[in-house]
Structure 1
């Protein structure tokens, strides 16, 4: 049925006329003024002609304010900051207080009323723990959708600071029934009347002040005060963390946003009130156009600075060796090769491990003069770790250095790391360092209520660089850069590494969180990794040798032969000194010397007789003077070497034979001496193939020796240390050990796949 002939009430006709005018683009304020049946038309113009002023209070210039103002700039919002530079008299905001915010706002509104248009909309928010998520137009547009409202306050789940007032609130079934003063928007006359309702001291509680006005029914109705129960504009995080979801991987929108899944709203201002500030820090890594999948880390690009060598800031490099550390030699070498002018580095070298003292002292004596200044803290100084770290911080604060670069001995860095951190533009920043093959890193993505580790939703994504950028986190350790200007404020005197019950880095990070100093970790590039010191046993001879499993990267760099990988070059001709006998470079000279040292330190060489209690049978058919790897705790290590480094060589030359993992029951070091056991009689090996690794240098450490393959009348002599001799075992390669005429010859033997 069509519309013709139907009769509509006058109001319906007006609504239809307005709809047509809207469709035709002819809706005007004059039209609305002539049609007064409904307020909705007039509200189309009510806000478009009213100036909107955004106000906040911030007496201190800190990271929270910096982030807040950046979010405003991102959305084109001009914010007027009240109280900047004034002394804060509003108390500790973890407790009731904040009345100073009302007084500062009152003074400003009175000034506006004297000199400006009274018909203004005022948007007031807290600053240190607030982010804008939309433009001012979008915020006002949502505000105008609240019916019969002149002032809209944020709302939350908790009645704070006086829970007894909860019973006085209007009865309603909503997600957030209680007023929160961290954000409100409304017309100037009403807001001015609210802040001037009665005197308030700076130390009174601002939220309690606004709450009592709201609970006064006559005031609430006359001033038309409403609460944003569904978080249409203002999202308070405290108590709502399970309802608020970060949408960081949306395919519909470039930039991440938050959604309140309980109220189906997309908030435009987010407030990390109360204990939810760390969650806001986490959200702040993504929100306000800080990061996106397509754009990457926009915040990183905004803050990054470039320095010429002559303009680089002065750094105190504070090196801490607090525990016995694998491969410390390589760590000290990395300190030396850092890509940063040494004349701009003040070195503080702290060693608290007596085992490392000779090595550390040698390093310091050799290189201290290369730095601008150098200072040592020794184990004999009997200074605790916390005290030593405070000395480094205080020494830097009171000197001309611009940055403190703290690095622990477990950190292994690329040479460019320090230069990157200085150029990042962040005041406190750590490079992402991870134990290879593990999720153990030098940062925590979140902390629990006791201040200990908790896993953030994006922790694994950051660790594995699924997302890349610079991330605000609550805890960093092992390696970080701190800008000293942050620590030269009166409040920063409270920053310390000393706190009962927690380790120094936890105390330090807790101090920074309390001060409102943000810590960041960067995974924009590869900066290095962490070594694992947990199994490092300095009671062993050459304990680094035992680190194959926990620190393979360092282990292979030091101990695998530098030419090992060349054996797999397709253009390389394999060395075959006798039929089906191959030479390969396998282990480094250092491996060989340390391997020998381990055996000699153990010292329990077999007697070379046929009786051998180490064997299950108790009998050795072809005995040698030897030490088995299981006697020195290296059996598992050697079998891993066979599997990962020897087996690929075997498969390359003995084509068609695959056995993974290789099995070897007999793995031992043999010692030949003219006065002990100089040679070995002809024999077959009980193996599919045998490997014979030379451990020391012919014609230097010994004379004579070698292996003669009798069937082929072919001898292999003068095998270089670290080189592997590989040959078939049973049947074809009957062989003997040639006479050693002088010195001591060491070889490592395995009978593979017996």
Structure 2
């Protein structure tokens, strides 16, 4: 059955074969293509139509459009019978050509069709078929199953007619379509079927079906038969059942998403040798614009999300004029109100506008997303709408510019979860509309295939043109649909988008008949590295600075936030110092890490007081006590030991060559030195193979005095740098003491490693 609103007519003239043009004997010379003309019936320039035209241009088909701008009255063909308007347009086009016996007419759909080969191949295969008219064939009968027994039997191949593809000599095609006297919304496939099933007409018009998909490949009921065949120049579709290379690929019925997948490759969209062949087509050059487009940025915090401050910082550092950015934030979590307040206070004058809707509004996710999108829709000056979930960590400052330059109606950057195949798109959908893995999903996620990909579902981050919101997506509740989550609802609305007569139509009784399927294409690009998705699944907000606990779930973001930017220079540039013999000093923590660890300890608040009696340790007695809080007391022992293994052990191997640490420690704690409680620590040996001591605040700013003296070498470290650690042997050689803190409060983090 035809599911879209247009047909394609391919006409070709061959004067030298006037006497025998209707014979397909193999001795004939190939048809020339100089007079080839493609007439495509299309009422609107949909994404599918533009894709079809691209494939036609690639093979040098000459195309003229019929019916463009005409109101569609052919019924809701995506859901029921219809399409008669296509036959009427074809009939009108054929009236002036019926006497041209040297014309060959090819009629095909366009919204859901791609050419995989050129006109020479089509004409050669038509000659070889040795019929006056050839229809496409499929294995499923539509729309009247009662006609099944009237179909001629076939030994091999598809048995039933599909009107999405017709090829024949002009006089014979005209004899078929001139019989049309039905309504615009009557079914075109049923019309052709009844003519074909009439034995007398089938014989007199010499009609047959393309049983083995030599020319036409209908995908409905045949997806398992079809595979991509990659070549050096272009990609073909191969029917593995009949070992044929169809020229016309038709995504009829519910196979349009699979056609979109095929369209990512055929005819020249992508191959292994040349990569993406269409990614640079019709791009926008921002450097040539008088001013940058205005963008509404919708930020959605729908669940507790780690590293929110980093998310906002990346928003501020996007390489895009801030006076062209309007920001809308929906925060559904009370926990994050302090983070947003701090960001607003620091950046309230940075953007063109900044609006926050908080948890007190009690909006659902769908309602909040509709609100954000609506702010752009109702503003004529809003050129683009960028929707971002707070779990997207953009590492590419050019992301917004790149997306705009690709010039797609809806496009998102590929972002993935670190070390996993989890991403922000699906390559295919299951029959119930949920996730299915496409053949190319892993290669796209891992950037083994890079390009701009037509996909059925995206989430987390995407850019939509403002004009699209005000035209195709002008309804206001795209994020609410049945039991689907908001992103699935939006994508379903976009994929199955329809257009229809407005309610003030002069003929309102036909309102239900005027729906025009015009599914919108959604794209994902992985041409650049854009960033990653943060895991929010196990984010516990019971801590004061809960990001500290994310070392396992989000190791990349944890490292970026908490590990000193010069840490890697330890290994590449030997960036460390040895202020005393076998005492090594190196950067490990950012200032933010130091501040948050101190805040966490003070939030816990129960310091030991520096007493000898200590129930926290084996035996209950500490010989050289400190005023401290153990990592275990705040539930941070596993995370701290992982930090030691990941970031301290490599330094140990570098400075203590030949020693392989187990990275294990029982005593891990933060010490607080103040003149009024405990100002110093008497000389002692640590119960460790080696010890680390990380300075958590700054001398001269936060405290005076302090430091560490090693007796054996009469060597002192009296100027600790915030975030730097010194590492020294524990028992036997390095007797040391904590020098007095004379003013303020000094904090250090200590671990006795390999006791």
Task: Verify same fold: TM over 0.5.
Answer: yes
Counterpart pick for 1:287 among 241, 266, 270: 266
Q: Secondary structure at the match of 1:121?
A: strand
User: In 2, are the aligned partners of 1:53 and 1:120 still within 8 Å (CA)?
Assistant: no
TM-score when normalising by structure 1: 0.89
Q: Which moved more, 1:516-525 or 1:205-214?
A: 205-214
**Residues 264 and 168 of structure 1: CA distance in aligned 2, closer, same or farther (over 3 Å):** same
Give distance in 2, aligned partners of 1:652 and 1:528: 32
Structure 2 residue 561 is the aligned partner of structure 1 residue 579: no
User: In 2, are the aligned partners of 1:443 and 1:475 still within 8 Å (CA)?
Assistant: yes
Q: Which moved more, 1:391-400 or 1:366-375?
A: 366-375
Q: Deviations over 1:511-535 (max 9, x none)?
A: 1001111000001111222222222
Match of 2:556 in 1: 553
Match of 1:517 in 2: 520
Match of 2:716 in 1: 715
Gaps of 5+ in 2: 1-14, 498-518
Alignment of 1:305-316 (within 5 A): 305-308=284-287, 310-316=290-296
Alignment of 1:125-164 (within 5 A): 125-147=108-130, 149-164=131-146
Counterpart pick for 2:243 among 260, 264, 270: 264
User: In 1, are the aligned partners of 2:37 and 2:61 still within 8 Å (CA)?
Assistant: no
User: In 2, are the aligned partners of 1:495 and 1:511 still within 8 Å (CA)?
Assistant: no
Counterpart pick for 1:528 among 522, 531, 536: 531
**Residues 84 and 632 of structure 1: CA distance in aligned 2, closer, same or farther (over 3 Å):** same
Give distance in 1, aligned partners of 2:358 and 2:641: 40
User: In 1, are the aligned partners of 2:275 and 2:450 still within 8 Å (CA)?
Assistant: yes
Q: Secondary structure at the match of 2:626?
A: coil
Q: Secondary structure at the match of 1:736?
A: strand
Aligned-residue CA RMSD in angstroms?
2.6
How far residue 565 of structure 1 moved from its aligned partner, in angstroms, is: 2.7
Structure 2 residue 49 is the aligned partner of structure 1 residue 73: no
**Residues 730 and 370 of structure 1: CA distance in aligned 2, closer, same or farther (over 3 Å):** closer
**Residues 487 and 715 of structure 1: CA distance in aligned 2, closer, same or farther (over 3 Å):** closer
Equivalences, count: 714
Give distance in 2, aligned partners of 1:96 and 1:491: 26
Q: Secondary structure at the match of 2:281?
A: helix
Give distance in 2, aligned partners of 1:316 and 1:683: 61
Match of 1:654 in 2: 656
How far residue 48 of structure 1 moved from its aligned partner, in angstroms, is: 4.3
Structure with the largest fraction of helix: 1
User: In 2, are the aligned partners of 1:52 and 1:123 still within 8 Å (CA)?
Assistant: no
Counterpart pick for 1:627 among 605, 617, 629: 629
Q: Secondary structure at the match of 1:685?
A: coil
Q: Which moved more, 1:500-509 or 1:560-569?
A: 560-569
Q: Secondary structure at the match of 1:299?
A: coil
Q: Secondary structure at the match of 2:719?
A: coil
Counterpart pick for 2:384 among 385, 403, 407: 403
Match of 1:15 in 2: none
**Residues 707 and 347 of structure 1: CA distance in aligned 2, closer, same or farther (over 3 Å):** closer
Match of 1:672 in 2: 673
Counterpart pick for 2:445 among 452, 456, 463: 463
Structure 2 residue 336 is the aligned partner of structure 1 residue 333: no
Give distance in 2, aligned partners of 1:751 and 1:162: 81
Q: Secondary structure at the match of 2:223?
A: coil
Q: Which moved more, 1:622-631 or 1:74-83?
A: 622-631
User: In 1, are the aligned partners of 2:377 and 2:469 still within 8 Å (CA)?
Assistant: yes
Give distance in 1, aligned partners of 2:100 and 2:272: 44
Q: Where do 4+ consecutive residues of structure 1 move more than 6 Å?
A: none
Give distance in 2, aligned partners of 1:282 and 1:359: 42
Structure 2 residue 463 is the aligned partner of structure 1 residue 481: yes
Give distance in 1, aligned partners of 2:573 and 2:49: 61
Q: Secondary structure at the match of 1:564?
A: coil
Q: Deviations over 1:349-385 (max 9, x none)?
A: 3333322224324434554544444443333333333
How far residue 431 of structure 1 moved from its aligned partner, in angstroms, is: 0.9
How far residue 395 of structure 1 moved from its aligned partner, in angstroms, is: 2.9
How far residue 675 of structure 1 moved from its aligned partner, in angstroms, is: 4.5
How far residue 287 of structure 1 moved from its aligned partner, in angstroms, is: 0.4
Alignment of 1:73-152 (within 5 A): 73-94=57-78, 95-113=80-98, 117-147=100-130, 149-152=131-134
Structure 2 residue 542 is the aligned partner of structure 1 residue 539: yes
How far residue 738 of structure 1 moved from its aligned partner, in angstroms, is: 3.5
Q: Which has the higher contact order (CA 8 A, sep 6+)?
A: 2
Structure 2 residue 691 is the aligned partner of structure 1 residue 690: yes
Gaps of 5+ in 1: 1-27
Give distance in 1, aligned partners of 2:629 and 2:60: 76
User: In 2, are the aligned partners of 1:692 and 1:724 still within 8 Å (CA)?
Assistant: yes
Q: Deviations over 1:447-471 (max 9, x none)?
A: 1122211111111111111011100
Give distance in 1, aligned partners of 2:314 and 2:709: 46
Structure 2 residue 503 is the aligned partner of structure 1 residue 503: no
Give distance in 1, aligned partners of 2:244 and 2:233: 19
Counterpart pick for 2:324 among 317, 320, 344: 344
Give distance in 2, aligned partners of 1:318 and 1:213: 55
**Residues 604 and 448 of structure 1: CA distance in aligned 2, closer, same or farther (over 3 Å):** same
Structure 2 residue 737 is the aligned partner of structure 1 residue 736: yes
Higher-Rg member (1/2)? 1
Match of 1:61 in 2: 45
How far residue 722 of structure 1 moved from its aligned partner, in angstroms, is: 1.6
How far residue 200 of structure 1 moved from its aligned partner, in angstroms, is: 2.2
Q: Deviations over 1:490-545 (max 9, x none)?
A: 77537711113112111111110011110000011112222222222222111111
Give distance in 2, aligned partners of 1:548 and 1:339: 29
Q: Deviations over 1:246-289 (max 9, x none)?
A: 124x4xx3322111111100111100011110000011011021
TM-score when normalising by structure 2: 0.89
Q: Which moved more, 1:329-338 or 1:263-272?
A: 329-338
User: In 1, are the aligned partners of 2:494 and 2:520 still within 8 Å (CA)?
Assistant: yes
How far residue 620 of structure 1 moved from its aligned partner, in angstroms, is: 4.3
